Amino acid sequence: MNTKDITEIQEPETIGSRIKDLRKKAKLTQKELAQMLGVSDAAVLYWEKDINTPKLEYLNIMAPALMTTIDFIMYGKTDTSDSVVDYRPVARMLPVLTYVQAGTFTDVRSISPHEIDEWLPAPPNAGKNSFYMIIQGISNAPHFSDGDYICIDPDVPLESVQTGEMIVVSCDGAATFKALVREFNQLYLKALNPDFQPNIIPLTEGAEYKGKYKGKFTPSQKFL
């Protein structure tokens, strides 16, 4: 038989093989992916060996971390227009950045998945490059408390932000969260806490606008 007539038999693609391939392309180890998802190393191993299938709650975090979609992980498809997908719509997930990461952030691809410890659901009005930050301090109390998760959209131009709207600005490589004040063709940053000093500072040329506040995420709490 002519060797040209011999076709190579390839193993069928599976959910596990796609997860493994995407993980390697993202340069993540099984342990690193497990830490991002809050599962054991063995859970990722079993997924990749097709022993178990990841639940939706983990797919919701895994897909953006691997720069793909749930659709592709589950079905190997990028377009589902010709089929009915049997799962509920899920929220897009956004990374939670430190103040230093937010200070150097440009878009979602500027931060490696290795550097993200937490992902949260995006607000409906958040842009594609939006991210979360965790409030530090009491400069904007009582409206924003220490530990609050705030969503910031870097794609909203500074020119469109009005007085009283909250923004993030990078100063000396770290981010600060304050209300914008426009007055006599000058821009200022104002703390919402009247007892915080300095309460208002000019927005200097060295400061870099990082985005507009889009909403807060409130995690579940224990009340008893």
Res. 117 pLDDT band, cuts 50 70 90: confident
Which residues have a Cβ under 8 Å from the Cβ of 115 and sit 6 or more positions away?
101
pLDDT of 7: 43
Distance in angstroms (rounded) separating the CA atoms of residues 68 and 71? 8
Q: What is the pLDDT of residues 153-181, one digit of tens each?
A: 999 999 999 999 999 998 877 789 999 99
Average pLDDT rounded to a whole number, residues 136-165: 94
Tell me, yes or no, whether 109 and 149 share the same domain: yes
Q: How distant, in Å, are the alpha carbons of 17, 18, 149, 212 from that of 57?
A: 20, 18, 20, 28
Element (H, E) at 42: helix 41-48
Helix (H, G, I), strand (E, B) or coil at 75: helix
Distance in angstroms (rounded) separating the CA atoms of residues 30 and 134? 27
Q: What is the pLDDT of residues 19-41, one digit of tens each?
A: 999 999 988 899 988 888 888 99
Q: Is residue 224 situated within a structural domain?
A: no
Q: Is residue 102 situated within a structural domain?
A: yes
CATH code for the domain of 109:
2.10.109.10
Q: Is residue 86 situated within a structural domain?
A: no
pLDDT of 123: 85
Tell me, yes or no, whether 183 and 128 share the same domain: yes
Structure tokens at 194: 């009247």
Tell me, yes or no, whether 204 and 117 share the same domain: yes
Number of independent structural domains in the chain: 2
Tell me, yes or no, whether 48 and 156 share the same domain: no
Instruction: Write phi, then psi, for 22 (nearest 5 degrees).
Output: -65, -40
What pTM was computed for the model?
0.62
Tell me, yes or no, whether 112 and 148 share the same domain: yes
Tell me, yes or no, whether 212 and 136 share the same domain: yes
Tell me, yes or no, whether 138 and 97 share the same domain: yes
pLDDT of 153: 94
Q: What is the pLDDT of residues 49-97, one digit of tens each?
A: 999 999 888 888 888 888 888 889 988 876 544 444 444 444 577 888 8
Tell me, yes or no, whether 44 and 136 share the same domain: no
- 183 is in which domain, residue-wise? 93-216
Amino acid at 34: A
Tell me, yes or no, whether 99 and 189 share the same domain: yes
Q: How distant, in Å, are the alpha carbons of 48, 60, 218 from that of 87?
A: 21, 12, 25
Average pLDDT rounded to a whole number, residues 8-27: 83
Q: How distant, in Å, are the alpha carbons of 15, 52, 222 from that of 49?
A: 9, 8, 37
Q: What does pLDDT average to over the chain?
A: 83
Boundary of a domain, candidates 49, 75, 101: 75
For 33-39, the CB contacts below 8 A with 24+ separation are: 33/62, 33/65, 35/117, 36/61, 36/62, 36/65, 36/113, 36/116, 36/117, 36/119, 37/61, 37/62, 37/65
pLDDT of 84: 41
